[in-house]
Structure formats: C-alpha cells, structure tokens
Chain A
C-alpha cells in the first residue's frame, strides 16, 4: 500500500533524508527510528507530499499522494508530531470539523469513549492536558477509518495506562488490515507494534529489518541496545556531555 524508492528531502544544502526506500503491506507496521534530527519527521512529510522531495517512486495505494491527494487521503490518516488547533475550538467542534472532510466516518461516541475523552466534548481543546490533546490528535487521524496511518511520536505525553490502551487499539486495527508508519523514541512500543523498523542516522538508512534482525546484526541482547548502536546515540557520548557540563 505504500511504496517509496530513493526519497530525499533537503533543506537548502542540508540533506534531511537521503535516499530512503521502503514498502508497506496491509496490516503491517513500520517503525521509523532515529535520534532527534535524524530525519524521521522529514521522511513522513516527504512521503505525504507536504514537503518538497526528490524520489524515484512514491505511491500510496498505487497513486501519487501529490497528484491524487483527494483520492489518496480519503484512506490515509496522519498525526503530525505537533498538532495545533485554533483558539477556542472545542473537542466536539474539532471532531465535527475533521469528520466533515471525509465521506465515511467511524462511530464518534465510541472513539471518544475509547480515547478517554468522553465527557470532554464541550471543553476547549487548548485547555486540555498535553496527554488529552495528544489522544485527540490520534483520534482525529483515525476518525475516517483509514487503511493507512502515519503516527509521528504517537504516545509522547501519554501516561502508562493510556499508552497501553492505545497500543491495544492499534494492534486490533492492525489485525484488521490497517497499515502503520510510526516514529517513536520508546523501544518497548516499537517492539510491540512494529513488524519492521528503519533506523535513520543523519538522514541515511543505517538499518532496515525486523527487531530480531537488529539484535542479531548488532550483537546486542536487547533491542534498545541494538537501536542505540545503529542510531549512534551511544551512552558514552552522553556521559561525556554530562561530565563536561558539570
């Protein structure tokens, strides 16, 4: 459902994403991993056609997200890293507004309930807690029963209970054929949700494969260590920084 070949995103002379290639089948989840600034968000905005990019192939459901956006985005949900809302917009208005953009939508009551937002309908979005706003952002990405979702740091700001609930929901949707591309800094989350991962380092793909592959190839016993090795986020570097500043 998603085919990307040699996608590059540049900001001036700086290459944020360098020749990224990946493909995704229905019911599959792909984790885009890397340190801050490694190019995860740029890769997502590039794949969505929001950010200007170079590519040899870029299709979603066999169509270009740039030239057939109307068609493609009917079945694609997106949660950007940062989701902002107009001042004074209430939860209910945010949902109504988003639902109006699509032909078919899910049961809103049920969604609000399962995202722990029932009873919050009349509250202004900008007065919600960080975690509630984040849950609303994910809810909106799923409001039209998409076949493919892009989730950029989906559980940042969520408490343990909310994270677990969201994982369960996503796993259920995945079992029903939902494709997912997600970024995360939590390796436990990646291990639970993702079938495959792509690790980026300064825009370059340094690893692509399953979680088990990553551990085997790096010679580490935990995925977190394997990730740290590939991504270049070594602990020694941080120790050096901490010692230096103290």
Chain B
C-alpha cells in the first residue's frame, strides 16, 4: 500500500509537470463550458434546453483526454522504454505502476468534471431535470468504456509512434464526431449514422437521457454498447497485453 501511494504521488507530479493534460483535459472543457453557456439556448419550455443537454458532452472531454489519450500513451511509453521491465525485477508487480497511472488519470478526469460542473452550475445556474445518481452512474459507465478502450490501444500498439497515432485518431474522432464538441443533432443524417459507430456517441446519448430525466429503459441499447465496449476492451487487453 505504501508503495502504491508513493507511485501515485510521483505519477501525479509527472502528470502535473506535463501540462498537456491540463490544457486538453481541463482548460479546454472549462472554456467550452463557458462558451456553451453564452451561446446555446437556455429555453427549457419544451423539455431540457440545448444548454442543459450540452453538459453531457462537455463532461466527457476529461474522460477522453485521460482515458483515450493520456493513459494509453503512458502505457506504451513505459513499455517501449522498458520501464515496465525494470519493475518486473522488483518485489512490486509492474501492474502497480499502471494502476497508479490509471488512478491519477482518473483523478484528473474527476477534477475536470468538477470544474465543468462548477461552471455550469455557478455561472449559468444549470439544473438537472433527471437524477444526479443516474447521471453519475451513466458517467461511470462511460468512464469504464473509454478507459478499457484506452487500455486496449496501449496494449496493442507495437510502438510509441503507433500508440500516438491510434490514440490521436480515437481521441479526435470521438471529440468531433460523437457529439462531445459539435452537437449530434446538427449533423446530417448520414453522418449521424456513422457517428453511431463510436462508443462515445452512445455514452453521450445515455448521459443526455439522464439529464432530461427520460426513462432510462429507452437508453438500454446505449448502455449495452458501453458494457460491450468495456467487456471487449478488458478481454482483449488481458489477452494481448505485453510487459516488454
């Protein structure tokens, strides 16, 4: 336990010194939250307003930046530089290092979520029509799905370059085409069909359901896609992961 705490502490310092996550995972969603607050319609006469629904999208950016970008890149980097191999010859399993890194990325995502929620709530008086419990549950589903996808990228990428390319592809594809930044509804129908392939689209649908307070049973298919993504990601990671 003492080892894990020290590892978390040091991985946290390294992440903080890196600054890129601070920009992409924290500043960017907070800025977007403020923009949406000013630009989107707050008219809630016919169900939840565009502004209310946008909360679903903006809160996922922190998960994307950590789970699909930061986490897999670090896994690939530590393997490529044989840092995991160095841990293999200590009493502490190298999985501890990955756990520490995962925990710290997750903490960063939670921080990003909190900041975005604060902007929505304090500046723009954001209210959830549905229940926070359901929203947070859906949020946990999205997190699990995205992190297992990230683990999979980190496991399969043969080298640092490939990991960079694959995570960037996954990150930008989902940032732009799953409704995280550009709202799903304004996309043409053909593109919407393509967007449905991305697991995060389903995550955002699920979160919007929770915001609107619609019966969650209607969103069962979205939850199923996320669970499938999680199961597939963890199973493939278990099968293909290499320490060196």
Contact = CB atoms under 8 A, between A and B. Distances in A.
A240 interface: no
A73 interface: yes
Interface in B79-103: 81-83, 85-93
Interface stretch (A24-32, A95-103, A174-182, A191-199): A95-103
Given A50-B85, A85-B83, A102 B10 contact: no
Contact of A100 (B7, B85, B86): B7
A100 B3 contact: yes
B46 interface: no
Interface in B92-123: 92-93
A100 B100 CA distance: 13
Contacts of A73: 89-91
A50 B18 contact: no
Nearest to B17: A88
Interface in A11-62: 48, 50
B10 A101 contact: no
A7 interface: no
A74 B6 contact: no
A87 B92 CA distance: 21
B89 A76 contact: yes
Contacts of A84: 81-83
B103 to A, nearest CB: 15
A190 to B, nearest CB: 23
A33 B93 CA distance: 30
B89 A86 contact: no
Nearest to A44: B89
Q: How large is the interface on B (under 10, 10 to 19, 20 to 34, 35 or more residues)?
A: 20 to 34
B14 A88 contact: yes
A71 B90 CA distance: 9
B13 interface: yes
A69 interface: yes
Given A70-B91, A74-B91, A83 B10 contact: no
Interface string A62-86: 0000000111011010101011111
Nearest to A65: B89
B244 interface: yes
Given A80-B85, A86-B77, A88-B17, A69 B91 contact: yes
A111 interface: no
A1 interface: no
A201 B82 CA distance: 26
Nearest to B18: A88
A89 interface: yes
B78 interface: yes
A223 to B, nearest CB: 30
Contacts of B78: 86
B193 interface: no
Contact of B13 (A70, A80, A93, A100): A93
Contact of A101 (B18, B81, B82, B91): B91
Contacts of B87: 101
A103 B17 CA distance: 29
Going nearest first, the 4 A-B pairs with the smallest beta carbon separation are: A100-B6, A84-B81, A78-B89, A101-B92
19 contacts: A48-B88, A50-B89, A69-B89, A70-B91, A73-B89, A73-B91, A74-B91, A82-B82, A84-B82, A86-B78, A88-B18, A93-B14, A96-B10, A97-B6, A100-B2, A100-B7, A101-B90, A102-B91, A103-B91
